[in-house]
Amino acid sequence: MSKEADLDHSEQVQVNAYENVPTSVIFEAIRREGEHELLRPASALWWSGVAAGLAISTSVLAKGFLASVLPHSDWAAAITNLGYTIGFLIVILARMQLFTENTITPILPLFLEPTRHNFARTARLWGIVFTANLVGCLVAALVLVHGHIVPDARFEGILAISRHYAEATAFQHFAWGIPAGFLIAALVWILPRMEDAGEVLMIVIVTYIIGLGGMSHVVAGSTELLVLVFNGDLGLLPAVFNGILPALAGNVLGGTGIFAALTYAQVREEI
């Protein structure tokens, strides 16, 4: 029998808190959060989703600002994508409704009880939140282009990263959206174990990897595409059908079809 460390009572309490939590416990915590979201009034979901669309656009601002002051070199992406994490920090820490987080939280109650009622509740949540996120992105893009709220030199940086995002094909946005959806769902799964500082660090790490990897996130990417639409560089239909919808499909496949399904599979026998 292995020897245990000599700890006082307070230290032992901390050890107990940090012991490996069974996967089924994490599943239940996120399932309950999903149930809470499914029961929220439509107006609460809507305004939280609009706020998330606006807030996530700060990722585009921050990344664009950094791009505008750095040289066009391969290493610059390692710095500019630190700005990409800003919007996600605001949205997640403020507990706003971001569609890609909802590819796992309301899905776990649905996996547990795949009834018609739960399908309808999930569709309602997804429809409200995704539409609200896009409205927030649209407002942010409109103000950025026509409100002249940032200096021209910084706005050129925003246009540069937006044009780079728009260069991808529909298939690329779909394919690159899969790992982005998977990583956001994994982040939601991990966060219940994190303390305050650890939560911030984990959000930064995961979203930095999404940005650095050039992955397609449907909400943040929508702001970039809509900036180009309002600036006259891109048509609305190409933005929707070549960028927004393919990224949406990839995020859902990565977050729900892969990550959420695998997490449910590993706890199905235990619950």
Per-residue tokens: 263:
């997490």
pLDDT tier, 112 (very low <50, low <70, confident <90, very high otherwise): confident
Residue 9 counted as domain residue: no
pLDDT at 260: 80
**Dihedral angle of Cα 264, 267, 269, 271, to the nearest 10 degrees:** -100
Residue 47 counted as domain residue: yes
The total domain count for the chain is 1
Q: pLDDT, tens digit, for every residue of 51-103?
A: 999 999 999 999 999 999 999 888 999 999 999 999 999 999 999 999 998 88
Burial class of 113 by CB neighbour count within 10 A (0 to 12, 13 to 18, 19+): exposed
Residue 11 counted as domain residue: no
Across the chain, which distance is largest between two alpha carbons, in Å?
71
State how far the Cα of 130 lies from the Cα of 261, in Å rounded to an integer: 21
Residue 16 counted as domain residue: no
Helices (H), 94-151: 107-112, 116-146
* Structural domain harbouring 188: 22-267
Q: Which residues contact 183 (CB under 8 A, 6 or more apart)?
A: 206, 209, 210, 215, 254
State how far the Cα of 103 lies from the Cα of 30, in Å rounded to an integer: 12
Q: Which CATH number is 260's domain given?
A: 1.20.1080.10
Characterize 209-247 residue by residue with b for buried, 16 or more Cβ atoms within 10 angstroms of its Cβ, and e for exposed: bbbeeebbbbbbbbbbbbbbbbbeebeeeebbebbbebb
pLDDT at 197: 76
pLDDT tier, 15 (very low <50, low <70, confident <90, very high otherwise): very low
The pTM is what?
0.88
What is the pLDDT averaged over residues 205-222?
96
